Structure 1
C-alpha cells in the first residue's frame, strides 16, 4: 500500500470515528432530555399523589388505619427475631443500618407478609394460613444479585456466618436459625392483579408484584364464602381452594381438616383501598411505568457513554 493510500485510509477512519462520536453525542443529548422529561412527569405525579394522601384518610377498619395495620404486621415479623425476615425488618426499621448496605437497599423488596394488603380479617387469616409461616416470612428480591448478597459461603460450601445477612444479624446480636425462603422476582414473569401499594417495585421487564410474586403465590387458588360452596365446586378445583369460614383444600384430592389455627404473621387488613378514585389508580400506574422507563433510559445512557468513550479512545490512538 502506498503512503498516499495509507494516509487516505487514516483520514477516512478518522472521519468515520468522528461521525460516530457525533452520533453518540446526539444520542446522549436526546436520552438525557428524555430522562429529564420523565423525571419531571414522575415528580408531578408524586406531588398529586401526595396531595391526595394529605387530604384523605383511607384504609380504616374498626378504628385501625392502614398504617397501624401495616405496623402490626411488621411487629409480628420482628417477634421472629432470629429469622432472616425478622433481622431484615429490624434493619429496614433502622434507616442508617439499612442505607449502609447498598445491595440490600437496591435489590431486596421486603418480606412477603409486608408486601400485600387485603380487605378483611377473614381473608387475611385464610391466605396467611394457606401460605404458611415459612412463605409469609420469605424474603423477596428483585434479582439474583440480591440473593447472592444475602448469603456467602466458604470454600467448603458452608454458610459464612460473618457475611451477608448472617453477618448483619451477628452485628446486632441476632442469629439466623435454619433455612429461610427467598423469592426472586426476575424468575417470575406471569401477570395478574392483587395489591397496588408496592407496584413501584419492578423487574427488568417492567413487571410489578402483581404480575410476579402474587401471581406465583395465588394465581390458581380459588376462594369461596363457605365450606359448602367450596365442596360444591370440587370438580372445578385443581390447585387448591379456601373458604372464608376456614375450609382448606391443598390441591385436588388433598384436604386440610381440623380447626383453623391462629396465624403468627398475617397480611395487613385495610378496607379503604377500593374507595380510591380511578384517577388515583391511573396516576399510580403511570408513575410505575414512568419509573420503569426511566430505569431503561438510564441503562441506555450508560451504554451510549461507554460507546462514546470507546470511540474517542480509538480516535486518539489513530491520530
Structure 2
C-alpha cells in the first residue's frame, strides 16, 4: 500500500513538472513568433525609409540651390528615377513603382561616369572618404550619409539599338507588339511600359554624347520589353506572347525570369507622378524629412520591442532548461529508479512512519 502511494506521489510530481515544461515550451514558441513578426515589421519599415542619399540631393537642389549650382558635382546629376518620368494613371504609377522597387525608384541618375566618380571618393586603403563627394556635401547641410544608394550612369547603360520614332514628340521606341495568329493584339494589351512613361520637355532634351535620350537608356534599361495589360486574366491568356515580363493595372506582375508576384501589393510611398498634375511624390522636402523621422521612430520602437521579446525568450528558455534539468535529476534519483523497477525503496517523506533523515528509533539508542 505504501509503495503504491509513493508511486502515485512520484507520478503526480513528474506529471506536474512535465506540465510546467509544456507551458514553458508554449511560452518559448509565443516569444519566437513575436520576434519573427517584429523582424518582418522592421524589414517593412526599413524598405519604406526614404534613401538618405536621395534626400540629400533633394535638399541641395531645393533648399541650397545656389550652393548646389556652383558645385561641379551637381551639373551632370539629373535627379532620381521617380522624378524623371510621369504616367497617366494612378494604378499604372503604383504597379510600375512596385515592379521597380524602392531602390530603383530612388536611384540617382547621372549623365556621365565622371559625375558618378565624383559622388564618392576613396582613400588608399579603399575606405570611403567622408569629407568628399556626396558625403562631404551632406556635411555642409548638417547631414550624415549612411548606407548604400544606387546610381545609374546614362553613358554606361546599353541603349535601345532599334528604331526610335523621331516623328513622335515623346520619341517612343518602335517595338514589335505581340500579335495573335489573326494579326490583332492580345486582349487587354495596352502598350510597352517603356513607352508609357511621359517625359517632360526638359528631360527630352537630355541626351548622352552618342545622342541617346532617357527613354532609350534609363527607362529601356529598367523596363526593356515589359508589357502592360488591363488585368491579370489578360496576362494569363497572353503568356505565349510574353517574353520579357508583364504587369497589369489590377496588380499582376510577371517577372522577365518567369516568376509571378503573388499576394498583396506593396503600397510604396514613392511613385511616378501622374501627368494630369497629381504628384505621388512628396511635394516638399520637409514632408520627406518628416517621413524619415517617423520611419526611424517606428524602427526604434520595433527594435525596443524585439529586445524585450528576446530578453523574455531568454528568461523562459533558461527557466525551461532549469526545470528540465530538475525533472531529469529527480527521475534519476536512486530511490525513483528503484521504484521504477519495482524494487524496495525508502518510504516517502509524506508517508506516515517514514524516516527521511535516517535517524535511529529511540529504543535503539
TM-score, normalisation: structure 2 = 0.51
- 1:149 pairs with 2:118: yes
* Alignment-derived partner of residue 262 in structure 1: 267
* Alignment-derived partner of residue 237 in structure 1: 242
- Residue of structure 1 aligned with 2:72, choices 102, 110, 114: 102
Offset at residue 81 of structure 1 (A)? 6.1
Deviations 1:22-76 (A, max 9, x none): xxxxxxxxxxxxxxxxxxxxxxxxxxxxxxxxxxxxxxxxxxxxxxxxxxxxxxx
Offset at residue 157 of structure 1 (A)? 0.7
Offset at residue 100 of structure 1 (A)? 2.1
* Alignment-derived partner of residue 212 in structure 2: 207
Partners of 2:144 and 2:83 in 1: CA distance: 21
- 1:160 pairs with 2:139: no
Offset at residue 252 of structure 1 (A)? 4.1
* Alignment-derived partner of residue 154 in structure 2: 185
**SS of the residue aligned with 2:79?**
strand
Higher helix share: 1
Cα pair 1:224 1:242 within 8 Å, conserved? yes
Partners of 1:80 and 1:204 in 2: CA distance: 35
**SS of the residue aligned with 2:221?**
helix
* Alignment-derived partner of residue 251 in structure 1: 256
Cα pair 1:161 1:167 within 8 Å, conserved? yes
Would the alpha carbon gap of residues 186 and 226 (structure 1) be closer, same or farther in structure 2, given more than 3 Å must change?
A: same
Partners of 1:95 and 1:80 in 2: CA distance: 24
Would the alpha carbon gap of residues 81 and 137 (structure 1) be closer, same or farther in structure 2, given more than 3 Å must change?
A: closer
Partners of 1:174 and 1:81 in 2: CA distance: 14
Partners of 2:240 and 2:221 in 1: CA distance: 23
1:28-177 paired onto structure 2 within 5 Å: 83-93=52-62, 94-104=64-74, 106-177=75-146
* Alignment-derived partner of residue 305 in structure 1: none
* Alignment-derived partner of residue 43 in structure 2: none
Would the alpha carbon gap of residues 103 and 242 (structure 1) be closer, same or farther in structure 2, given more than 3 Å must change?
A: same
Cα pair 2:73 2:118 within 8 Å, conserved? yes
Would the alpha carbon gap of residues 129 and 82 (structure 1) be closer, same or farther in structure 2, given more than 3 Å must change?
A: closer
Cα pair 2:51 2:106 within 8 Å, conserved? no
Partners of 2:50 and 2:261 in 1: CA distance: 29
> Larger radius of gyration, structure 1 or 2?
2
- 1:227 pairs with 2:265: no
Offset at residue 80 of structure 1 (A)? 5.4
Partners of 1:88 and 1:154 in 2: CA distance: 23
Where relative contact order (Cα < 8 A, 6+ residues apart) is larger, the structure is: 1
Offset at residue 161 of structure 1 (A)? 1.1
Would the alpha carbon gap of residues 149 and 108 (structure 1) be closer, same or farther in structure 2, given more than 3 Å must change?
A: same
Deviations 1:158-194 (A, max 9, x none): 1111110011112212222211111110123225344
TM-score, normalisation: structure 1 = 0.58
Structure 2: gaps (5+ residues): 1-47, 165-172, 174-194, 278-365
Partners of 2:100 and 2:261 in 1: CA distance: 13
